[in-house]
Amino acid sequence: MRRKLVVGNWKMNGSRVANADLLAELKAAGPWNADVAVCVPFPYIGEVALSLQGEAIAWGAQDCSAHASGAYTGEVAVPMLAEFGCRYVIVGHSERRALHGESDQIVAEKARIALAHKLVPIVCVGETLAEREGEQTDAVVKRQLSAVIHTLGHCISQVVVAYEPVWAIGTGRTATPDQAQAVHALLRKQLKAATERADDMKILYGGSVKADNAAQLFAEADIDGGLIGGASLKAADFAAVCRAAS
Ligand code: PGA
């Protein structure tokens, strides 16, 4: 049985005071019988790392540069994240693909550099509403994952995949457990063609996961946890999702 993983994606939210309150409440609410992590804005990583030292909650970043160092103003390199004990880094979130023009190949390069420095990339894939309505879902997620498989080869087994239908992110519209499971099964099949370890890999679902729908989603055979946006900003909500994964 794969152990579930719940990752909070704070996005561009928080403040030093709010983060301290949130983490204090989370520490009090846990531990859970699942892996739990929070991916936080860059400036807060150092403080979050200190707060979570020795706790059962890991931490990570929401993006990274595809380069290890150099003249890339405004970028943050994976070795820097490693210095602060990050276990995870989200790559290819749909907001980065849509708002920052990240291509499948850039996302794959980010996954590669994360692995090279022993961070676990959480590789996001997902279709837009127009793509779903045009029956392009399978083709889109396969194309997005295929770029990463092609770049990483058998090391693909070391990534976490997150299926996040763009139309379900922050909209309150969740994929039904059946809809999500269908795509997760497809992704697992694609991973199986690339690695013998596909059955050990985690495929998370993301998109309006909340306390009241998490258990149903997590009960599906190929849904190994969640990438949680809005509901990761309130300790009680995030703790309830973590409980649902336990
Ligand atoms: P949401 O975001 O839970 O607020 O829909 C999920 C995500 O974008 O990772």
Give the integer Cα–Cα distance in Å for 38 and 23: 10
Please compute, for residue 26, the number of CA atoms within 13 A of its CA located in the half-sphere on the CB side.
30
Percent pLDDT > 70 in the chain is: 100
Q: Report whether pLDDT(92) > 90.
A: yes
The letter for the amino acid at 165 is P
Give the integer Cα–Cα distance in Å for 48 and 112: 25
Residue nearest to atom 9 of ligand 1 (CA): 229
Rounded to the nearest 10 degrees, the angle between the axes of helix 137-152 and helix 177-192 is 30
Instruction: Looking at the CA of residue 95, tell me the nearest atom of ligand 1.
Output: 8
Instruction: Looking at the CA of residue 168, tell me the nearest atom of ligand 1.
Output: 5
pLDDT of residue 170: 86
Pocket around ligand 1 at a 6 A CB cut-off: 9, 164, 169-170, 206-209, 227-231
- pLDDT single digits (tens) 108-122: 999 999 999 999 999
Domain count, the chain: 1
Question: Cis ω on the peptide bond leading into residue 43 (within 30° of 0)?
Answer: no
pLDDT of residue 173: 87
Residue nearest to atom 2 of ligand 1 (CA): 229
Q: Which residues are catalytic?
A: 93, 164
Residue nearest to atom 6 of ligand 1 (CA): 229
Give distance in angstroms: CA of 230 to centre of ligand 1. 6
The phi, psi pair for 37, rounded to 5°, reads -150, 160
Give distance in angstroms: CA of 109 to centre of ligand 1. 23
Shortest CA distance to 124 belongs to which of 167, 151, 95?
95
Give distance in angstroms: CA of 165 to centre of ligand 1. 10
Q: Report whether pLDDT(72) > 90.
A: yes
Q: Report whether pLDDT(138) > 90.
A: yes
Helix (H) or strand (E) holding 171: none
Give distance in angstroms: CA of 146 to centre of ligand 1. 23
For residues 219-230, average pLDDT: 98
Q: Find the CATH number of the domain harbouring 176.
A: 3.20.20.70
41 confidence band (pLDDT: 50, 70, 90): very high
> Is 232 in contact with 8 (CB distance < 8 Å)?
yes
- pLDDT single digits (tens) 209-218: 999 999 999 9
Residue nearest to atom 3 of ligand 1 (CA): 229
> Is 227 in contact with 9 (CB distance < 8 Å)?
yes
pLDDT of residue 44: 98
**Enclosing domain of residue 28:** 5-245
- pLDDT single digits (tens) 151-208: 999 999 999 999 999 999 988 888 899 999 999 999 999 999 999 999 999 999 999 9
N-term to C-term CA, the chain: 12
Q: Report whether pLDDT(7) > 90.
A: yes
Prediction pTM value = 0.98
Extended strands (E) in the chain: 5-9, 35-39, 57-61, 88-91, 120-125, 160-163, 203-206, 225-228
